[in-house]
Amino acid sequence: MNLAYYFYETARMMTAPARLMADASRYSLQNPANPFAYSPYAKSFAAGCEMFERVTRRYAKPSFGLARTTVDGTSVPVSERVVWEKPFCRIVTFDRGFVRGPAEAQPKILVVAPMSGHYATLLRGTVEALLPDHQVFITDWADARLVPLTAGRFDLDTYIDYLQEIFVHLGPDLHVMAVCQPAVPVLAAIALMEAKATQGKPAPGVPVSMTLMGGPIDTRRSPTAVNCLAQERGTKWFEANCITVVPVGYPGAWRSVYPGFFQLSGFMAMNLDRHVDAHAEMFDHLVTGDGDSAEKHRDFYDEYLAVMDLTAEYYLQTVKTVFVDHALPKGEMRHRGEPVDLKAIRTCAILAIEGENDDISGVGQTKAALDLTPNLPESRKAYHLQDSVGHYGVFNGSRYRTIIAPRIASFVREMQAETEVAEFRQVG
């Protein structure tokens, strides 16, 4: 049995006294009543204490913290509400206090957050840019170490089951946005639903459109280092080296998981120099008293370093299906024994979005969805390649806010209008 989780917890407990001492020392040295607080030595030591505390801390799940948004030029309050829940996921919607007009007047969009180590709050900026023009829902995936074994297994098949149930629950006239990893299960779920259409009538719950953003639909196209690693190592290697058991003391004790700290170490290693430089800069900001810059660093890393565990069965099935076997683009993917046929997609529109400098999902991997759905009319397909952005720039940052989000809003409105016209003609 892989004991990595036990070693990790042991190390965390052993450093706890030193972390508490460092935190106490920092507060003491930063106390305005302390006559030594203004000396260069005290500032440097206090900065060092904070850096030590932050490096050894386990970061809690952040909050979305979206208090207000602007609708039609008017600032309105925002509140969160859970509208659907199961052991491994809940759907959160963001209610806006409209001054005039109901929220239902705007398109409904479900943001399917990646289940790949970080919490859904990583998409805070994604949601924030959508709020003025949409009724926004988001998948808030559960940390596997907090889900008891009695809740059962959660694998890729269960993930797809969840999506289909959510689509039906939030429908009709739902639009879906899949950010990175969920592009594959979202595409598969919709294909399975569309395959159940009878006598030219769409199956209930099929979304009006799906926006796939930086998703690994076909990782044989422009393979990245991440894709090549999975292909070279194979599923057996990941099972032997990346799967461990949640220790006693957590609700999910004894559950086999791919721990978040493994994923985080991989993320950090990919850009280690940049993270080291960022922490060195934060130290300098703390010493010089540049509070604004230091706070920006805290906000970013409070989010980036907060990670969750994934169930072993979900992680391994995803690695095998998506990255090793390339089952979906080959037409070999199955869901509970049923074939996933992308040719069944005939009504749900697709917008594929990619980043020019994406080093996780290479250019062409998401666009493959357009080629794999030959029975979907070309008028219901669209593609956007955003220049000068990497993977995270596809769904966050200035270019996302000013270019990509408006492109998504335009596509959603266009497909919604086209669908309403088609429905009106059918009724007529």
Q: Which of 29, 31, 64, 58 is nearest to 46 (CA)?
A: 29
Evaluate whether 26 touches 50 at the Cβ level (below 8 Å): yes
Tens of pLDDT, residues 147-162: 999 999 999 999 999 9
CA atoms within 13 A on the CB side of 277: 4
DSSP 84-144: EEETTEEEEEEEE--SSS-GGGSPEEEEE---SSB-GGGGHHHHHHHTTTSEEEEEEEPPG
**Domains of the chain: which residue ranges?**
1-58, 68-229+311-427
Tell the residue number behind the tokens 């220049």, with chain if given. Answer: 387
Q: How many CB atoms lie within 10 A of CB 64?
A: 18
Q: Looking at residues 86-115, what average pLDDT do you find?
A: 86
Q: Please say if the pLDDT value at position 285 is more than 60.
A: no
Tokens of 219: 């990782």
Residue 51 CA to residue 45 CA, distance in Å, equals: 10
Q: Which of 300, 279, 281, 294 is nearest to 30 (CA)?
A: 294
Q: Please say if the pLDDT value at position 235 is more than 50.
A: yes
H-run or E-run covering 217? none
Q: How far is CA 261 from CA 8, 217, 310, in A?
A: 9, 26, 11
- What is the model's pTM? 0.88
Question: What per-residue confidence (pLDDT) applies to 343?
Answer: 97
- Omega within 30 of 0 (cis) for the link into 172: yes
SS3 42: helix
Residue 235 CA to residue 228 CA, distance in Å, equals: 13
Evaluate whether 331 touches 341 at the Cβ level (below 8 Å): yes
Q: What is the mean pLDDT of the chain?
A: 87
Q: Looking at residues 328-351, what average pLDDT do you find?
A: 97
Residue 229 phi/psi, 5° resolution? Answer: -60, -45
Tell the residue number behind the tokens 């497909």, with chain if given. Answer: 415
pLDDT-based confidence at residue 58 (cuts at 50, 70, 90): confident
Tens of pLDDT, residues 181-214: 999 999 999 999 999 987 667 778 999 999 999 9
Q: How many CB atoms lie within 10 A of CB 273?
A: 7
Evaluate whether 375 touches 346 at the Cβ level (below 8 Å): yes
Contacts of 233 (CB under 8 A, 6+ apart): none
Tens of pLDDT, residues 249-267: 899 999 999 998 887 766 5
Question: What per-residue confidence (pLDDT) applies to 189?
Answer: 98
Question: What per-residue confidence (pLDDT) applies to 275?
Answer: 46
**Top-confidence residue, 217 or 290:** 217
Give the DSSP letter of residue 222: S
CA gyration radius, the chain: 23
Tell the residue number behind the tokens 């559960």, with chain if given. Answer: 142
Question: What per-residue confidence (pLDDT) applies to 18?
Answer: 84
**Top-confidence residue, 237 or 171:** 237
Please state which CATH class domain 68-229+311-427 belongs to: alpha beta
Q: Please say if the pLDDT value at position 59 is more than 80.
A: no
